[in-house]
């Protein structure tokens, strides 16, 4: 910079609302949002999630209603996560392959409600289906095995694609799963089904309310540090992203969100691919708790944090505040 005060007064462009709008570098819109929704069994069922104020589990028929709501708000995509019944959970997660499982029924309900007017993103991992709460299969020592798990994830992905999923989002962090899923999708004729890889998913303390919502929290034996990333590592995240892009991911995700905006920025600058972030359950709960305690205005907190994702380089954000934010953004 060669200019100096008073020739350059940076406050000049901030002095009026119209000027601030004209010089705004990043814009958040309803089209930047993906709305995560939790599915439960039954019909006409809404189950509030105690650790996520304002968030509920919905039966498949009501997931269709939520999808219509999202479409009306201009939200382009929803993400589905099932709360599988305890009696359908097993050590091998076989319910993930059932073509009539909760996920598949929810996909079909959304299709019936909205047709092709909204995208459907589906989670590929075994933790909603296993009796032990881990994302994969265990050996006799309790270690999550990689290659056998990938084989099941491939079948799970195909099951969801055949039910009508638009975006397969493997969140398991097994090595090689993106290539295996991409090959299976191609061989199965699902050429236009996207893969949004959870490429940099950290072993975070921010996931607790999510595990409550999908029913895996109380089941989890041990931790997930042998496959989810160490929060201390950044270079490793770039290696993970590079591998997933090479294996066939159309877009990549960083999870959690706000504590890892540096990773979002590094991924965007290094690879110039669509990068998404997941504003996870713990982040949502913290905003809600702050607003409830009078520590900040809820609407302002929601929009400011979401704008931070855009500033960091995100193409979009998965957030439980999606519907609320869309209403605010649309006035």
Residue 255 annotated as catalytic: yes
3-class secondary structure per residue, the chain: CCCCCCCCCHHHHHCCHHHHHHCCCCCCCHHHEEEEEEECCCCCCEEECCCCCCCEEECHHHHHHHHHHHHHCCCCEEEEEECCCHHHCECCCHHHHCCCCHHHHHHHHHHHHHCCCCEEEEEECCCCCECCCCCCCECCCCCECCHHHHHHHHHHHHHHHHHCCCEEEECCCCCCHHHHHHHHHHHCCCCCCEEEEEEEEECCHHHHHHHHHHCCCCCCCCCCCCCCECCCCCHHHHHHHHHHHHHCCCEEEEECCHHHHHHHHHHHHHHCCCEEEEECHHHHHHHHHHHHCCCCCHHHHHHHHHHHHHHHCCCEEEECCHHHHHHHHCC
Bridge partners for 48 per DSSP: 56
Residue 1 tokens, joined = 């910079």
Told to judge if 68 belongs to the known catalytic residues of this protein, a careful annotator would answer no
Catalytic residue among 224, 255, 268, 310: 255
Q: Which one of 68, 108, 201, 224 is the catalytic residue?
A: 201
CA atoms within 13 A on the CB side of 90: 8
d(CA 308, CA 310): 5
Question: Active-site residues: which are they?
Answer: 201, 255
């Amino acid at each position: 910079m060669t200019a100096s005060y008073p020739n350059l007064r940076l406050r000049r462009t901030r002095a009026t609302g119209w000027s601030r709008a004209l010089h705004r570098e990043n814009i958040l819109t309803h089209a930047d949002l993906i709305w995560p929704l939790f599915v439960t069994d039954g019909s006409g069922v809404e189950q509030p999630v105690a650790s996520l104020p304002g968030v509920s589990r919905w039966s498949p028929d009501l997931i269709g209603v939520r999808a219509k709501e999202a479409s009306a708000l201009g939200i382009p995509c929803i993400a589905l996560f099932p709360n599988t019944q305890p009696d359908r959970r097993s050590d091998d997660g076989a319910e993930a392959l059932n073509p009539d499982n909760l996920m598949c029924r929810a996909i079909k309900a959304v299709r019936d409600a909205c047709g092709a007017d909204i995208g459907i993103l589906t989670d590929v991992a075994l933790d909603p289906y296993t009796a032990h709460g881990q994302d994969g299969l265990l050996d006799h020592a309790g270690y999550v095995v990689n290659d056998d798990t990938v084989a099941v994830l491939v079948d799970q992905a195909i099951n969801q694609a055949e039910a009508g999923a638009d975006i397969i989002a493997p969140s398991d962090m097994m090595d090689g799963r993106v290539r295996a899923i991409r090959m299976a999708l191609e061989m199965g004729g699902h050429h236009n089904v996207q893969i949004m890889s959870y490429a940099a998913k950290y072993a975070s303390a921010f996931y607790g309310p999510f595990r409550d919502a999908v029913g895996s929290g109380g089941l989890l034996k041990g931790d997930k540090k042998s496959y989810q990333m160490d929060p201390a590592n950044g270079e490793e995240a770039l290696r993970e992203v590079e591998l997933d892009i090479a294996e066939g991911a159309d877009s990549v995700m960083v999870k959690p969100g706000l504590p890892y905006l540096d990773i979002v920025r590094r991924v965007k600058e290094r690879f110039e691919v669509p990068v998404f972030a997941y504003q996870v359950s713990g982040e949502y709960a913290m905003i809600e708790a702050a607003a409830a305690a009078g520590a900040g205005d809820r609407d302002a907190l929601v929009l400011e944090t979401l704008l931070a994702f855009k500033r960091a380089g995100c193409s979009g954000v998965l957030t439980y505040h999606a519907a609320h934010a869309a209403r605010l953004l649309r006035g």
